[in-house]
Amino acid sequence: MNLTAKPTLIGEKVTLRPFATEDIPWIERCLLDPEVLTLTGSSSGIDRKTLQTWYATRNVQPDRLDLAVIDQESGVLVGEVVVNDYEQQQQSMNFRILIGPDGRNRGLGTEATQLLMDYLFRHTALHQLTLSVLAINPRARHVYEKIGFEVTGVDARDVEVEGKWIDSIQMVLTRKKALKL
């Protein structure tokens, strides 16, 4: 799967676009947000230099798609969408989205997800997208189900968050379901 071309996708509420140098402080704010850390099972061990290097290389990766989620109302980066881990035999990739504190509860994540799904299933040969969502993140699961993702399994006690073991819910969205064929 060649994802060298990085599109800019424009919706009513958000724009998805390749990352720019000036995005670093905004994505750092998202990645260090306590709610993001909890709901993704991540740690806060991140340094600015590593972050700058990582995001400076996202636009040249041919095997993945990383796009900034920009709130059109404020013009500010509020998150990211990522498609990676291509499985050739299944024509499948993994999807994830992160929405920081400035972008929550306004439908930005839903629109960003829908924009990317529409693009991927109309402009690539992907057969399906998979994802994993922690059971402690019902807001994200609701968005995924609204878009058309279906639960395929549960990895019990998959991630430890704040001393508690949390289940990870596996989901899939097929081309047929996404395009309503």
pLDDT given for residue 45 in this prediction: 67
DSSP the chain: ----S---EE-SSEEEE---GGGHHHHHHHHT-HHHHHHHT------HHHHHHHHHTGGG-TT-EEEEEEETTT--EEEEEEEEEEETTTTEEEEEEEE-GGGTTSSHHHHHHHHHHHHHHHHS---EEEEEEETT-HHHHHHHHHHT-EEEEEEEEEEEETTEEEEEEEEEEEHHHHTT-
Domain architecture of the chain: domains with CATH: 9-178 (3.40.630.30)
What tens digit of pLDDT does each residue of 116-144 get? 999 999 999 999 999 999 998 888 899 99
What tens digit of pLDDT does each residue of 138-177 get? 888 999 999 999 999 998 987 887 888 989 999 999 999 9
- Predicted model pTM: 0.91
